[in-house]
């Protein structure tokens, strides 16, 4: 999986923005951001349909990630949901299929469905989203649970709780973490410390926030953007190397956790 991908939350919901959003995804592929993350929940399938159109003729270039809603995650419901996603995405396989968050369906039942989807070639790998350490421990206790390919969680400068326990737990088991909302949907970008560091690098505050996530070991960032300009800016963040001074300033401005925090979600 690439370390920098393309998120699609809220994409596909405004017909007037559709041409720009498709162009943005295609530009992202051109720039090497070949991981596209979506979900059946996003726009009730509209984001998946948008992605399907954007990757038409380029499917083999893409590492495609989508998610099943927890209320659909029964043994048969997961398979039906996957088939619906495949239709909307206009493809015959999903590279990575995630449980969007935990619901009332047992993990054993969802895991059984994931296993069937892998065996039938409808998905290559499976993973989870919004799982904390206790959830991951429970998953690992199940037969086949250690095949989990990723845990996708909220992570950025202002949401550092996973550094206390979840991130080390995943690193120890060589499970990559996918960070959604790595720039907090733009809400942290007016912070003066980010601007100071950005000025030193001749960069934007958003690029510094994204570069901070990308420099972390075992992290894949999936910022969402529907703008070609922003996707170019995101790609440029890969080339920024934050110094020890930069990292120390960011730690002072956005302190790491000093105790266990509940897993945060958006």
Confidence (pLDDT) at 18? 95
Alpha helices (H) along the chain = 18-30, 46-54, 75-89, 107-119, 133-140, 166-172, 192-201, 205-214, 228-237, 244-253
Residue 123's SS3 state is strand
Confidence (pLDDT) at 187? 85
Residue 104's SS3 state is coil
User: In the numeric block, which tokens belong to residue 248?
Assistant: 């120390």
User: In the numeric block, which tokens belong to residue 220?
Assistant: 């894949």
pTM of the model: 0.96
CATH homologous superfamily of domain 6-253?
A: NADP-dependent oxidoreductase domain (3.20.20.100)
What Rg do the C-alpha atoms of the chain give, in angstroms?
A: 18
Alpha carbons 92 and 104: distance in angstroms, whole number: 29
Question: What is the bridge-based pairing of β-strands 63-68 and 94-99?
Answer: parallel
pLDDT single digits (tens) 167-193: 999 999 999 999 999 999 888 888 999
Confidence (pLDDT) at 226? 84
Confidence (pLDDT) at 266? 85
Is 147 buried (19+), middle (13-18) or exposed (0-12) by CB count in 10 A? middle
Cite the active site residues.
Answer: 42
Alpha carbons 78 and 62: distance in angstroms, whole number: 23
Q: How far is CA 39 from CA 120, 170, 172, in A?
A: 21, 23, 28
Is 164 buried (19+), middle (13-18) or exposed (0-12) by CB count in 10 A? middle
Residue 113's SS3 state is helix
Confidence (pLDDT) at 189? 87
Question: Would you state the torsion angle of the CA atoms of residues 109, 111, 112, 116, taken in this order, to the nearest 10 degrees?
Answer: 140
Query: Which one-letter DSSP state was computed for residue 126?
Result: E
Regions of the chain with pLDDT less than 50: none
């Amino acid at each position: 999986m690439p370390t920098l991908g393309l998120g699609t939350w809220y994409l596909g919901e405004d017909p007037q923005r559709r041409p720009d959003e498709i162009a943005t995804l295609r530009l992202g592929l051109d720039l090497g951001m070949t991981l596209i993350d979506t979900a059946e929940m996003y726009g009730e399938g509209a984001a998946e349909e948008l992605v399907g159109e954007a990757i038409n003729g380029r499917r083999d270039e893409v590492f495609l990630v989508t998610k099943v809603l927890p209320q659909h995650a029964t043994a048969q419901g997961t398979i039906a949901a996957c088939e619906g996603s495949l239709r909307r995405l206009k493809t015959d396989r999903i590279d990575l299929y995630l449980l969007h968050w935990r619901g009332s369906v047992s993990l054993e039942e969802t895991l059984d469905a994931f296993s069937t989807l892998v065996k039938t070639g409808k998905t290559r790998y499976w993973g989870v989203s919004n799982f904390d350490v206790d959830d991951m421990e429970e998953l690992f206790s199940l037969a086949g649970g250690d095949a989990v390919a990723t845990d996708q969680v909220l992570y950025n400068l202002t949401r550092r709780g996973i550094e206390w326990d979840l991130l080390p737990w995943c690193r120890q088991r060589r499970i990559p973490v996918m960070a959604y909302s790595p720039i907090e949907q733009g809400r942290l970008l007016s912070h003066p410390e980010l601007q100071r560091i950005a000025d030193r690098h001749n960069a934007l505050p958003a690029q510094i926030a994204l570069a901070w996530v990308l420099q972390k070991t075992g992290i894949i960032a999936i910022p969402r953007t529907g703008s070609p300009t922003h996707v170019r800016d995101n790609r440029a963040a890969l080339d920024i190397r934050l110094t020890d001074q930069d990292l120390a300033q960011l730690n002072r401005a956005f302190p790491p956790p000093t105790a266990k925090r509940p897993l945060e979600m958006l």
